[in-house]
Amino acid sequence: MAKDDGAFLTIGELAQELGVAQHILRYWETRFPQLRPLQRSGNRRYYRPRDVEIARRINRLLNEEGFTVKGAQRALAGRSPAPADMPAPAPAANDAATAPTDAAPALQQAAPVAPVPPAGPQGVLPIGDLPVAARPAPRQVAQTDLALLIARLTVIRQNLADAIEGA
Protein backbone atom coordinates (compact mmCIF):
# COMPACT_ATOMS: atom_id res chain seq x y z
CA MET A 1 0.00 0.00 0.00
CA ALA A 2 1.50 3.30 -1.11
CA LYS A 3 1.36 6.42 1.02
CA ASP A 4 -0.22 9.67 -0.03
CA ASP A 5 2.04 12.42 -1.35
CA GLY A 6 1.70 14.52 1.81
CA ALA A 7 2.27 11.64 4.25
CA PHE A 8 5.33 11.55 6.49
CA LEU A 9 7.98 8.96 5.56
CA THR A 10 10.06 6.92 7.97
CA ILE A 11 13.81 6.83 7.55
CA GLY A 12 13.58 3.34 6.04
CA GLU A 13 11.00 4.41 3.46
CA LEU A 14 12.99 7.47 2.43
CA ALA A 15 16.25 5.53 2.30
CA GLN A 16 14.64 2.95 0.03
CA GLU A 17 13.14 5.64 -2.19
CA LEU A 18 16.49 7.41 -2.61
CA GLY A 19 18.53 4.22 -2.85
CA VAL A 20 20.85 5.12 0.04
CA ALA A 21 21.45 3.53 3.42
CA GLN A 22 19.70 4.86 6.52
CA HIS A 23 22.98 5.88 8.11
CA ILE A 24 23.62 8.13 5.10
CA LEU A 25 20.41 10.03 5.83
CA ARG A 26 21.43 10.40 9.48
CA TYR A 27 24.85 11.68 8.32
CA TRP A 28 23.17 14.21 6.02
CA GLU A 29 21.18 15.48 9.01
CA THR A 30 24.47 16.34 10.73
CA ARG A 31 25.87 18.14 7.67
CA PHE A 32 22.82 19.91 6.28
CA PRO A 33 20.91 22.07 8.80
CA GLN A 34 18.00 22.33 6.35
CA LEU A 35 17.27 18.60 6.78
CA ARG A 36 15.51 18.27 10.15
CA PRO A 37 12.92 15.47 10.32
CA LEU A 38 10.50 15.17 13.21
CA GLN A 39 11.82 12.91 15.95
CA ARG A 40 9.31 11.11 18.11
CA SER A 41 9.79 8.85 21.09
CA GLY A 42 12.75 6.54 20.75
CA ASN A 43 14.29 9.00 18.24
CA ARG A 44 12.13 7.63 15.43
CA ARG A 45 12.48 9.93 12.44
CA TYR A 46 9.54 11.08 10.34
CA TYR A 47 10.34 13.04 7.20
CA ARG A 48 7.80 15.69 6.22
CA PRO A 49 7.23 16.44 2.51
CA ARG A 50 9.61 19.44 2.79
CA ASP A 51 12.30 17.20 4.33
CA VAL A 52 11.76 14.63 1.57
CA GLU A 53 12.32 17.31 -1.10
CA ILE A 54 15.49 18.51 0.64
CA ALA A 55 16.78 14.94 0.91
CA ARG A 56 16.06 14.38 -2.80
CA ARG A 57 17.95 17.55 -3.66
CA ILE A 58 20.93 16.56 -1.48
CA ASN A 59 20.95 13.11 -3.09
CA ARG A 60 20.86 14.65 -6.57
CA LEU A 61 23.68 17.08 -5.78
CA LEU A 62 25.94 14.48 -4.18
CA ASN A 63 25.22 11.31 -6.11
CA GLU A 64 24.08 12.48 -9.53
CA GLU A 65 25.75 15.85 -10.08
CA GLY A 66 29.00 14.98 -8.28
CA PHE A 67 29.15 17.82 -5.76
CA THR A 68 31.24 17.50 -2.63
CA VAL A 69 29.48 17.82 0.72
CA LYS A 70 30.76 21.39 1.11
CA GLY A 71 29.65 22.25 -2.41
CA ALA A 72 26.19 20.81 -1.78
CA GLN A 73 26.00 22.75 1.49
CA ARG A 74 26.79 25.96 -0.37
CA ALA A 75 24.29 25.15 -3.11
CA LEU A 76 21.51 24.47 -0.58
CA ALA A 77 22.37 27.64 1.34
CA GLY A 78 21.96 29.66 -1.84
CA ARG A 79 25.64 30.54 -2.22
CA SER A 80 27.51 29.61 -5.35
CA PRO A 81 29.84 26.67 -4.76
CA ALA A 82 33.59 27.10 -5.10
CA PRO A 83 35.09 25.70 -8.33
CA ALA A 84 36.58 22.73 -6.45
CA ASP A 85 33.14 21.86 -5.06
CA MET A 86 31.36 21.89 -8.39
CA PRO A 87 31.03 18.77 -10.49
CA ALA A 88 33.17 18.27 -13.54
CA PRO A 89 31.44 19.22 -16.78
CA ALA A 90 30.15 16.28 -18.77
CA PRO A 91 31.87 16.06 -22.14
CA ALA A 92 29.71 15.97 -25.22
CA ALA A 93 30.18 13.20 -27.77
CA ASN A 94 31.82 15.53 -30.29
CA ASP A 95 34.07 17.41 -27.83
CA ALA A 96 37.08 15.16 -28.48
CA ALA A 97 37.52 16.61 -31.96
CA THR A 98 36.86 20.26 -31.11
CA ALA A 99 39.34 23.03 -30.58
CA PRO A 100 40.63 23.89 -27.07
CA THR A 101 38.24 25.80 -24.84
CA ASP A 102 38.74 28.64 -22.39
CA ALA A 103 38.18 26.19 -19.51
CA ALA A 104 41.85 25.23 -19.57
CA PRO A 105 43.90 28.11 -21.02
CA ALA A 106 47.15 26.76 -19.56
CA LEU A 107 46.64 23.52 -21.45
CA GLN A 108 46.71 25.03 -24.94
CA GLN A 109 49.69 22.91 -25.95
CA ALA A 110 49.83 19.25 -25.04
CA ALA A 111 53.07 18.24 -23.38
CA PRO A 112 55.04 15.52 -25.15
CA VAL A 113 55.02 12.09 -23.55
CA ALA A 114 58.16 11.64 -21.48
CA PRO A 115 60.18 8.50 -22.20
CA VAL A 116 60.29 5.78 -19.58
CA PRO A 117 63.47 6.14 -17.50
CA PRO A 118 65.86 3.23 -17.47
CA ALA A 119 65.40 0.58 -14.79
CA GLY A 120 66.81 1.52 -11.40
CA PRO A 121 69.10 -0.53 -9.23
CA GLN A 122 68.60 -4.27 -9.43
CA GLY A 123 66.32 -3.91 -12.46
CA VAL A 124 63.39 -2.40 -10.52
CA LEU A 125 61.28 0.14 -12.38
CA PRO A 126 60.09 3.22 -10.50
CA ILE A 127 56.47 2.98 -9.37
CA GLY A 128 53.99 3.94 -12.07
CA ASP A 129 56.32 3.42 -15.02
CA LEU A 130 55.78 0.74 -17.63
CA PRO A 131 58.43 -0.99 -19.68
CA VAL A 132 58.60 0.34 -23.22
CA ALA A 133 56.99 -2.79 -24.67
CA ALA A 134 54.01 -2.52 -22.28
CA ARG A 135 53.29 1.17 -22.89
CA PRO A 136 50.17 1.91 -24.92
CA ALA A 137 50.62 3.75 -28.17
CA PRO A 138 50.65 7.53 -27.64
CA ARG A 139 47.48 9.32 -28.66
CA GLN A 140 46.55 12.93 -28.94
CA VAL A 141 44.73 14.06 -25.78
CA ALA A 142 41.98 16.58 -26.31
CA GLN A 143 42.03 19.72 -24.20
CA THR A 144 38.54 18.93 -22.92
CA ASP A 145 39.80 15.55 -21.67
CA LEU A 146 42.55 17.28 -19.72
CA ALA A 147 40.17 19.88 -18.30
CA LEU A 148 37.76 17.12 -17.25
CA LEU A 149 40.58 15.16 -15.61
CA ILE A 150 41.79 18.23 -13.72
CA ALA A 151 38.25 18.97 -12.50
CA ARG A 152 37.78 15.38 -11.30
CA LEU A 153 41.15 15.37 -9.53
CA THR A 154 40.25 18.65 -7.86
CA VAL A 155 37.01 17.12 -6.54
CA ILE A 156 38.91 14.05 -5.29
CA ARG A 157 41.46 16.31 -3.60
CA GLN A 158 38.68 18.24 -1.86
CA ASN A 159 36.98 15.02 -0.74
CA LEU A 160 40.27 13.81 0.75
CA ALA A 161 40.79 17.13 2.51
CA ASP A 162 37.24 16.95 3.91
CA ALA A 163 37.84 13.39 5.11
CA ILE A 164 41.11 14.33 6.81
CA GLU A 165 39.51 17.43 8.32
CA GLY A 166 36.58 15.38 9.69
CA ALA A 167 38.79 12.64 11.17
Residues in the chain: 167
Cβ neighbours of residue 40 under 8 Å, at least 6 residues apart? 46
Q: What's the confidence (pLDDT) of residue 104?
A: 45
Q: The CATH number of the domain where 64 resides is what?
A: 1.10.1660.10
Cβ neighbours of residue 164 under 8 Å, at least 6 residues apart? none
pLDDT tens string 34-79? 999 998 888 899 999 999 999 999 999 999 998 999 989 988 888 7
In a domain, 126, yes or no: yes
Q: Are residues 160 and 105 in the same domain?
A: yes
Q: How many domains does one find in the chain? A: 2
Looking at the predicted structure, is the pLDDT value of residue 159 above 50?
Answer: yes
In a domain, 83, yes or no: no
Q: Are residues 124 and 66 in the same domain?
A: no
In a domain, 117, yes or no: yes
| Model pTM score | 0.49
User: Which residue range(s) make up the domain with 26?
Assistant: 9-77
